[in-house]
Structure 1
Amino acid sequence: MPSYTAPTKDYAYLTQDVFDLSSQNIPGYEDLDRDFTTAVIGEAGKLASEVMSPVNQTGDQEGCTLENGVVRTPTGFSEAFDALRDGGWPGIDMPEEYGGQNMPFVMHTAVNQMFSAANHALIMYPGLTHGAASALLAHASDEQKNTYLPNMVSCKWTGTMNLTEPHCGTDLGLLRTKAEPQEDGTYKVSGQKIFISSGDHDMAENIIHLVLAKIPGEPNNVKGISLFIVPKFLVNEDGSLGARNGVSVGNLEKKMGIHGNATCVMNYDGATGYLVGEVNKGMRAMFTMMNEARIGAALQGVSAAELGYQNALAYAKDRLQGRDVTGVKNPEGPADPLIVHPDIRRNLMDQKSFVEAGRALGVWSSMKLDQAHRNNDADALALISLLTPVMKGFCSDKGFDMAVQSQQILGGHGYIEEWGLSQCLRDARIAQIYEGANGIQALDLVARKLPSDNGKAFRDFIALVSGFIAEHKDDETIGAEVIAPLKAALNDLQTAAMTFVQNGMKDINATLSGSYDFMHLFGHVLLGYMWGLQAVASQAALAAGSEDPAFHDAKLLSARFYNTRHLPMTATHLARIKTTAAPVMEMDVEAF
Structure 2
Amino acid sequence: MADYQAPLRDMRFVLNEVFEVDQLWASIPRLAEAVDVDTADAILEEAGKIAAGSLAPLNREADEAGCQWQDGEVSTPEGFKEVYQLLAEGGWMGLGGNPEYGGMGMPKMLVAQFEEMMQAACMAFGLSPMLNAGACVSLDYHASEALKQKYLPNMYAGTWAGAMDLTEPHAGTDLGIIRTKAEPNDDGSYNVTGTKIFITWGEHDMAENIIHLVLAKLPDAPAGPKGISLFLVPKILVNDDGSLGERNAVTCGSIEKKMGIKASATCVMNFDGAKGWLVGELNKGLACMFTMMNYERVGVGIQGLGAAEASYQSAVAYAKERLQSRSPAGKVQPEKAADPIIVHPDVRRMLMIQRAYNEAGRAFSTYAARWLDISKYSDDDAQRTKAENMVALLTPVVKAFITDKALESAIHGQQVFGGHGYIREWGQEQLVRDIRITQIYEGTNGIQAMDLMGRKTVMNGGEFVREYIAEIEAFIAENKSTAAAEFAMALSDQLANLQQVTDAVIAKATAGNKHAIGAAAVDYLHLFGFVSYAYMWAKMAAVAGAKLDGPDADFYSAKLTTARFFYQRLLPQTRALSEQILAGGDSMMALADHQF
1:76 equivalent to 2:105? Answer no
SS of the aligned residue for 1:450 comes to helix
1:515 equivalent to 2:521? Answer yes
Partner amino acid, structure 1, of 2:264: N
Match of 1:524 in 2: 530
SS of the aligned residue for 1:61 comes to helix
Equivalent runs, 1:8-19 vs 2, <5 Å: 8-19=8-19
Contact kept, 8 Å, 1:406 with 1:421, in 2: the verdict is yes
Cα distance in structure 1, aligned partners of 2:136 and 2:317: 39
Cα distance in structure 1, aligned partners of 2:207 and 2:219: 33
Contact kept, 8 Å, 1:214 with 1:220, in 2: the verdict is no
Contact kept, 8 Å, 2:403 with 2:439, in 1: the verdict is yes
1:6 equivalent to 2:6? Answer yes
Cα distance in structure 2, aligned partners of 1:216 and 1:535: 58
Q: CA deviation at 1:485?
A: 2.7
Contact kept, 8 Å, 1:486 with 1:563, in 2: the verdict is no
Partner amino acid, structure 2, of 1:496: V
Q: CA deviation at 1:285?
A: 0.4
Match of 1:254 in 2: 257
Match of 2:121 in 1: 118
Cα distance in structure 1, aligned partners of 2:352 and 2:7: 17
Match of 1:105 in 2: 108
Cα distance in structure 1, aligned partners of 2:36 and 2:18: 13
Match of 2:29 in 1: 27
Match of 1:219 in 2: 222
1:284 equivalent to 2:290? Answer no
Contact kept, 8 Å, 2:294 with 2:391, in 1: the verdict is no
Partner amino acid, structure 2, of 1:220: A
Match of 2:495 in 1: 490
Q: CA deviation at 1:34?
A: 4.1
Match of 1:340 in 2: 343
1:89 to 89, 92, 107: 92
Cα distance in structure 2, aligned partners of 1:422 and 1:537: 36
Cα distance in structure 2, aligned partners of 1:206 and 1:452: 42
1:409 equivalent to 2:416? Answer yes
Cα distance in structure 2, aligned partners of 1:149 and 1:156: 10
Match of 2:477 in 1: 470
Match of 2:164 in 1: 161
Task: Give CA deviations for 1:64-90 in whole Å, capped at 9, x if unaligned.
Answer: 001232100000111111111111111
1:394 to 393, 401, 406: 401
Cα distance in structure 2, aligned partners of 1:415 and 1:250: 33
Cα distance in structure 2, aligned partners of 1:452 and 1:118: 40
Equivalent runs, 1:553-572 vs 2, <5 Å: 553-572=557-576
Cα distance in structure 1, aligned partners of 2:49 and 2:96: 19
Cα distance in structure 1, aligned partners of 2:285 and 2:326: 62
Contact kept, 8 Å, 2:462 with 2:503, in 1: the verdict is no
Cα distance in structure 2, aligned partners of 1:437 and 1:175: 18
1:536 equivalent to 2:538? Answer no
1:573 equivalent to 2:580? Answer no
1:460 equivalent to 2:467? Answer yes
Task: Give CA deviations for 1:93-151 in whole Å, capped at 9, x if unaligned.
Answer: 21222111112221111111111111111111111010000000010000000010000
Runs of at least 5 residues in structure 1 that lack an aligned partner in the other structure: none
Contact kept, 8 Å, 2:115 with 2:303, in 1: the verdict is no
Task: Give CA deviations for 1:18-71 in whole Å, capped at 9, x if unaligned.
Answer: 111111223355475543322111111001100110111121010000123210
Cα distance in structure 2, aligned partners of 1:96 and 1:581: 50
Contact kept, 8 Å, 1:2 with 1:421, in 2: the verdict is no
Q: CA deviation at 1:452?
A: 4.9
Q: CA deviation at 1:496?
A: 1.3
Bigger shift: 372-381 or 421-430?
Answer: 372-381
SS of the aligned residue for 1:192 comes to strand
Partner amino acid, structure 1, of 2:114: V
1:306 equivalent to 2:309? Answer yes
Partner amino acid, structure 1, of 2:28: I
1:423 to 426, 430, 439: 430
Match of 2:556 in 1: 552
Bigger shift: 286-295 or 146-155?
Answer: 286-295
Equivalent runs, 1:134-283 vs 2, <5 Å: 134-283=137-286
SS of the aligned residue for 1:170 comes to coil
Contact kept, 8 Å, 1:486 with 1:567, in 2: the verdict is no
Cα distance in structure 2, aligned partners of 1:489 and 1:301: 26
Match of 2:586 in 1: 582
SS of the aligned residue for 1:116 comes to helix
Q: TM-score, normalised by structure 2?
A: 0.97
Match of 2:447 in 1: 440
Q: CA deviation at 1:454?
A: 4.0
Cα distance in structure 2, aligned partners of 1:514 and 1:238: 55
Cα distance in structure 1, aligned partners of 2:310 and 2:494: 29
Cα distance in structure 2, aligned partners of 1:50 and 1:26: 35
Partner amino acid, structure 1, of 2:592: D
SS of the aligned residue for 2:211 comes to strand
Cα distance in structure 2, aligned partners of 1:84 and 1:524: 36
SS of the aligned residue for 1:268 comes to strand
Cα distance in structure 1, aligned partners of 2:245 and 2:138: 24
Cα distance in structure 2, aligned partners of 1:20 and 1:328: 44
Cα distance in structure 1, aligned partners of 2:352 and 2:241: 57
Q: CA deviation at 1:511?
A: 2.5
Partner amino acid, structure 2, of 1:567: L
Cα distance in structure 2, aligned partners of 1:128 and 1:414: 30
SS of the aligned residue for 1:35 comes to helix
Contact kept, 8 Å, 1:517 with 1:573, in 2: the verdict is yes
Partner amino acid, structure 2, of 1:342: P
1:500 equivalent to 2:505? Answer yes
Q: CA deviation at 1:388?
A: 0.5
Partner amino acid, structure 2, of 1:585: M
Cα distance in structure 1, aligned partners of 2:543 and 2:191: 57
Partner amino acid, structure 2, of 1:494: Q
Query: How many pairs were matched up?
Result: 588
Cα distance in structure 2, aligned partners of 1:520 and 1:72: 40
Match of 2:456 in 1: 449
Cα distance in structure 2, aligned partners of 1:454 and 1:405: 38
Task: Give CA deviations for 1:332-388 in whole Å, capped at 9, x if unaligned.
Answer: 100000000001101100000111111111222111111111115111111111110
Cα distance in structure 1, aligned partners of 2:256 and 2:321: 38
Contact kept, 8 Å, 2:368 with 2:398, in 1: the verdict is no
Q: TM-score, normalised by structure 1?
A: 0.97
SS of the aligned residue for 1:508 comes to coil
SS of the aligned residue for 2:515 comes to helix
SS of the aligned residue for 2:465 comes to helix
Cα distance in structure 2, aligned partners of 1:32 and 1:363: 16
Q: CA deviation at 1:453?
A: 4.3
Runs of at least 5 residues in structure 2 that lack an aligned partner in the other structure: none
Equivalent runs, 1:290-369 vs 2, <5 Å: 290-369=293-372
Q: CA deviation at 1:539?
A: 1.3
Cα distance in structure 2, aligned partners of 1:309 and 1:50: 19
Q: CA deviation at 1:478?
A: 3.5
Residue identity over aligned pairs, in percent, reads: 47
Q: CA deviation at 1:510?
A: 2.2
Contact kept, 8 Å, 1:23 with 1:29, in 2: the verdict is no
Partner amino acid, structure 2, of 1:310: Q
Bigger shift: 157-166 or 29-38?
Answer: 29-38
Contact kept, 8 Å, 2:254 with 2:268, in 1: the verdict is yes
